[in-house]
């Protein structure tokens, strides 16, 4: 795996604007909406499915440790409306992913935007 320098930008507060989704499959209270983290990493898995799509990326920290982050996305239909298809992410793609992280501290979160290998950004 290509070693990547992780870019981790931490933004606190509510400066990034929150638009509640019309409907949610389950409560999103497991995620910290006061924080947004941006990560650069390599796609290890893309699960295009219902009720949630998941994007997993391997992120290499400053200490060289590789951690897999799991980003929860919306349903296939919702993601398709945002332009994401089953072919949008492939294993090995380098992507930039922004998430509201898990409150528990586990390496995961609710995606807010992702920039694919071809430079297109999906929100």
Partner 1 sequence: MSTTLTTTFRIALIFLSMTMATFLTAQTLFTTSDYRQDREQWTDPAYFNFNTLRQIVNLHRSESDAGSGADTFDITTPYAYQTSMEQYQAWLEEANGGTSHTLETLPDWDGNWGGNGSWFAGNQVQVSTVVAALTPQYQEYYVQQTKAEAEGRAWWPSAFCLPDGFVRGIQTPNQFIVRPQQVVIINGDALQTESQIRWIHNDGSGHLPEDLHYPKWQGESIGFWDGDALVVHTNQIKQWNASRSMLFEWSEQMTAVERYERVGDEIMGEVTLYDPVAFVEPLHADFTFGLIDDPEVRPVYNTCTDSDGPSTNVYVTEDGFIAQRVPGDPGYWDAGDPRPWAAHFAIGEN
- Decide if residue 83 touches partner 1 (CB under 8 A): no
By CB under 8 A, what part of segment 11-30 binds partner 1? 14, 18, 20, 23-30
3-state DSSP assignment of residue 59: strand
- Decide if residue 91 touches partner 1 (CB under 8 A): no
Residue span binding partner 1 (CB under 8 A) among the ranges 1-9, 35-43, 47-55, 115-123: 47-55
| Side-chain-side CA neighbours of residue 120 (13 Å) | 8
- Decide if residue 120 touches partner 1 (CB under 8 A): no
Shortest distance, position 65 Cβ to partner 1, whole Å: 12
Strand partners for 39 = 97
| Side-chain-side CA neighbours of residue 21 (13 Å) | 15
């Amino acid at each position: 795996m290509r070693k990547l320098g992780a870019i981790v930008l931490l933004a606190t507060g509510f400066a990034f604007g929150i638009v509640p989704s019309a409907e949610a499959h389950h409560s999103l209270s497991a995620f910290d909406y006061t924080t947004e983290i941006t990560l650069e990493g390599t796609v290890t898995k893309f699960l295009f499915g219902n009720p949630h799509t998941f994007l997993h990326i391997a992120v290499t920290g400053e200490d060289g440790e590789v951690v897999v982050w799991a980003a929860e996305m919306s349903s296939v239909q919702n993601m398709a409306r945002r332009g994401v298809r089953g072919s949008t992410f492939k294993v090995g793609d380098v992507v930039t992913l922004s998430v509201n992280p898990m409150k528990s501290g586990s390496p995961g979160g609710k995606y807010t935007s992702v920039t694919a290998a071809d430079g297109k950004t999906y929100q």
